[in-house]
Amino acid sequence: MSMTPGKITLRFLSEPGDVNYGGMVHGGAVMKWIDQAGYSCASAWCEHYCVTVYVGGIRFIKPILIGDMVRIDAQLIHTGNTSMHIAIDVWSKKVTANTYEKKTHCIIVFVALDAHGKKTKVPKWSPTTNAQEMMQSYAIKLMNLRKEIEDEMMPYFDSGK
């Protein structure tokens, strides 16, 4: 694992226990890795326990094979008062290969909690490069789209009445 403020990379081998019926890494295993990398990045940034509140736009681009070297890059791209938006890219390669191929991408949002389980403020993150500014704009655009989707879905949240 390598880590700089607001960024973390996990590396490991995919294992036979990660396999689905098609002989490739199960999407659920990839989602677990995404959550672990995102949690590590968010918690390290705010120095608090964090919970996942949203995972959006998971795009499985190509399958990961058993025995592949997996790399998960998690990068903070936006902070709110209590929330952190983390961009996740999942890559893999044969152990003997030189280059990784992107396999999955998504945005995951975490909220920081204090010792009593209440939302707590997080340190402000500000972009320092053009690439980071673009990613922050991406996070804000997705946040606005999520709000529209939530408004559209609201009548169905209470469908059990």
Q: What is the dihedral of CA 46, 48, 54, 55, to 10 degrees?
A: 70
Q: Residue 39: which of 28, 54, 49 has the closest Cα? A: 49
16-44 per-position pLDDT tens digit = 999 888 889 999 999 999 999 999 999 99
pLDDT tens profile 94-150: 999 999 999 999 999 999 999 999 999 999 999 999 999 999 999 999 999 988 888
Distances (CA, A) of 12 to 67, 70, 75, 107, 154: 9, 5, 18, 21, 40
- Please tell me the pTM assigned to this model: 0.89
pLDDT at 161 over 60: no
Q: Which amino acid does the sequence have at 49?
A: Y
Domain ranges of the chain: 2-157
Q: CB–CB of 73/9 below 8 Å?
A: yes
**Tens of pLDDT along 61-90?**
999 999 999 999 999 999 999 999 999 999
Q: What is the pLDDT of residue 17?
A: 92
What architecture (CATH level 2) is domain 2-157?
A: Roll (3.10)
pLDDT of residue 133: 96
